[in-house]
Amino acid sequence: MDMNVKGEVYIDSDDALKRVGGNMGLYKKLLGRFVDGNYLEAIENALGSGNMEESAKQVHTLKGVSANLSLVKIRALSVELEGKIHSGEDHAGCLDELRGAFAATREKISELTGS
């Protein structure tokens, strides 16, 4: 089941369930850990301090976690943000989009998990 916002896929739960052997309980637990994580805060703190190496590391971590959980929109924006950080491009707009994707994804996770 794809969880969409305005026609864009934010979560591909069918894909994620394949990774966890169809275990919805495990998937919900992993989604809960994601929600409880401080991924966005860690990225914002690293960027705010000007530490681009740490910023890239934090974004790379988010990219991997979001890929494993099939958080499609967050993964796509993580890829884009990581590229901008490595190339020294302006990343402010991408970071704003990522903030929005986090909010929308958390809402969809709440719908999926019933929490």
5: left (phi over 0), alpha (psi -120 to 50) or beta: beta
pLDDT, tens digit, 9 for 90 and up, residues 81-115: 999 999 999 999 999 999 999 999 999 899 888 87
CATH number for 61: 1.20.120
Q: What pLDDT does 7 receive?
A: 54
- pTM (2 decimals)? 0.89
The CA distance from 115 to 112, in Å, is 8
CA distances from 114 to 18, 28, 36, 108 (A): 21, 9, 15, 10
How many domains does the chain fold into? Answer: 1
Mean pLDDT of the chain: 91
Number of neighbouring beta carbons within 10 Å of residue 68: 14
Contacts of 68 (CB under 8 A, 6+ apart): 16, 19, 30
Single-letter residue type at 107: E
- Note down the domain range covering 14: 2-113
